[in-house]
Structure 1
Amino acid sequence: MSVNHELKILQAIRQADTLCVPQLIPTCLAAHLLPRDFEGSEADYLSHLVHHLLPKVRKFHLANRVDIFVEENAFSSAAAKKYLLKAKAMGFDLIIHGNQFTSGCVQLANDVEALSIDHLETMTPDEIRALAKGKTIPVVLPGASIGLGAPFAPARQLLDAGTSLAIASDWNPGSAPMGNLLVQAALMGVAEGLTMAETWAAMTIRAARALQLEDRGCIRRGHLADLMAFPTSNYQEVLYHQGQMRPEKIWKNGILTQ
């Protein structure tokens, strides 16, 4: 991907945000993998992004968040730290994709004060404790585990340690093509021993917190009325049916959209 390609993707997201009901929050994840046609090291590529991409993203208000994939086959923690700190100095909020196949990203997340760290399928007990002591929100992605045939992230252990666990879909054509968050969360909840309430909180108020959307995610006076109504009087039945029960009505900002 070139700088122009990344800019086009972000521009498309901004345009889509004006055309659809859900609010889209773009993230600049140009640092996912080192492009095959890039002639240089990972440090060279990240420097290229800092000098040629991120300034344009800021100038045209295309995203407020910068993400990087930290793995053995992606970017190292040392290179990622330099990149993220430079992005932070430019005014970006920070996100990390890490601990999917190998551990080692939690200290980085704490050091740079990342808003969230996504994946976390590979976690050591020390990393779980360290994450609980910091402010970074762990976002587990059961769709990636299902798509790749990999173990789920240790959601039960993360919750028991005191973290503010969130659940997201990681919907993408490469590793998580399902996209159905209710199915994914229900399956992870069973596998990890989460209660229905814990699973719902991870998909709603804690997910909103990971996106810095403090005005939604729960039913409370003064919050935005982003709501879904299911054909049941018991919230537990929605996850019990593992994605088969669909919402009958959807409100966005208090306006009925479906």
Structure 2
Amino acid sequence: MANLPLHGTLSDEQLEVQEEAGVLVQNDKIERVDSYQTLLAEAKRQGYSLQEIEQPMVLMPGLIDAHTHICFAGSRARDYSLRVSGKSYLEIARSGGGILDTVRKTRQATREELVQLLKKRALRHLSEGVTTCEVKSGYGLTVADELKMLQVIQEADNELPLDLIPTCLAAHMCPPEFGSSHEYLNYLLQELLPVVREQQLAQRIDIFIEETAFSEAEALAYLQKAQAMGFAVTVHADQFSTGGSKVAAEVKACSADHLEASGVPEIELMAEAGVVGVVLPGASVGLGMHYAPARKMLDGGICVAIASDWNPGSAPMGDLLVQAALLGAAEKLTIAETLAGITFRAAHALRLTDRGTLATGQLADMIAFPAETYQEILYHQGKLKPTIIWKEGKRVL
């Protein structure tokens, strides 16, 4: 994946595939990728330890999930039953279900309970090849509860072999304790974000722009103030209606995520601003709605990442590889475009430059599939999982 462009379309012919290859790892980074026999001789001379794999396998960079909500308590199975009975996501939210239902359960959970729940989900992700996972807060919606969530993410990150990248999504929606969205966002800017910055609990800020959450004008002012405080920003954009991508382009956000409602004007705005489009097929599957227009986005020159959106409401499946394979089949993405979307392009959405490819100087985050060719990985539509996983050069599965 090392020599592919960040933006736009990719053909499978552009993929660099090395046959009978080896990887030389020094400490936690890749020192060299070359033919196995060449590296074997060098390793023996220098006294390196060897991990030899004799069966045919395909090695690729560890997967990167750039958008999840896996720090939460409770279940939203009732919401799902209502949804498949015909109720819309917005109708369920208005009737007391949706995000606020998870907020109530997450507030009631202890920090220790949330740590164990998060670790369980993160370890499942790791077992399926995800070596870097973004995790959002946003089910607290008070200063104390949002800080609790971010501290839980930090604690789990310190205890797990995979990397958890925290994002403060306190602007998920306006909680019932506040009379207006404007009042709540000011509360976050004055009371929460300075503490998040001081305690180094997150470097990234997110906001949900939608009818049941925050308006474009509110989001724009909030994001600009967060940027002035030194935060990187991303946006939940264009899930049910357009407008969020325009805000993302105006503030030159790292990414605009969801984008199911985006059309040509929105794609052009994002492409011009260099905003990564993070598409979330898990939400489309969970809500029974169309996918984001990934094919049009790639054709329009956007860097497209694919993430799971693993959350208790709209995307409870959480299997990144399955979702990427389904999206690729539906949107007619090449294998190269799909794999790029869950490796180095996902790293770019998180502004991580040290992972996502197998190249000198990169973290030795690697996964090996029991397959003869790389096409097998997506051909099985996510059912073929990696059987060997390395995180920073250490074998963890």
TM-score normalized by the length of structure 2: 0.64
Residue 44 of structure 1 aligns to a residue whose secondary structure is: helix
Distance 1:106 1:61 in 2: 28
Distance 1:225 1:73 in 2: 42
1:7 lines up with 2:155 in the alignment: no
**Equivalent residue number for residue 83 of structure 2:** none
Distance 2:262 2:382 in 1: 28
Cα deviation digits, residues 206-249 of structure 1 (max 9, x gap) = 00011111111011111111110000121111111011111111
Superposed, 1:91-110 pairs within 5 Å as 91-110=230-249
**Equivalent residue number for residue 360 of structure 2:** 221
Shift of 1:98: 1.0
Shift of 1:37: 2.5
Residue 236 of structure 2 aligns to a residue whose secondary structure is: strand
1:21 lines up with 2:161 in the alignment: yes
Q: Which amino acid aligns with 1:3?
A: V
2:291 maps to which of 124, 137, 152: 152
**Equivalent residue number for residue 43 of structure 1:** 182
Structure 1, gaps ≥5 residues long: none
Superposed, 1:86-125 pairs within 5 Å as 86-125=225-264
Distance 1:146 1:161 in 2: 24
Structure 2, gaps ≥5 residues long: 1-140
**Equivalent residue number for residue 136 of structure 1:** 275
**Equivalent residue number for residue 376 of structure 2:** 237
Shift of 1:253: 1.0
Question: Quick check: 2:245–2:270 contact (8 Å CA) kept in 1?
Answer: yes
Distance 2:187 2:270 in 1: 31
Residue 165 of structure 2 aligns to a residue whose secondary structure is: coil
Q: CA RMSD in A?
A: 0.8
Distance 2:372 2:354 in 1: 25
2:194 maps to which of 34, 55, 61: 55
Higher relative contact order by CA 8 Å / sep ≥ 6: 1 or 2?
2
Distance 1:65 1:163 in 2: 21
Q: Which amino acid aligns with 2:233?
A: L
**Equivalent residue number for residue 334 of structure 2:** 195
1:83 maps to which of 222, 225, 232: 222
Structure 1 stretches of 4+ moved >4 Å: none
Question: Quick check: 2:250–2:273 contact (8 Å CA) kept in 1?
Answer: no
Structure with bigger gyration radius: 2
Q: Which amino acid aligns with 2:285?
A: I
1:33 lines up with 2:173 in the alignment: yes
Distance 1:192 1:67 in 2: 27
Distance 2:184 2:359 in 1: 45
Residue 18 of structure 1 aligns to a residue whose secondary structure is: helix
1:170 lines up with 2:309 in the alignment: yes
State, as a whole percentage, how many aligned pairs show the same letter: 56
Cα deviation digits, residues 89-114 of structure 1 (max 9, x gap) = 11100010010000112221111111
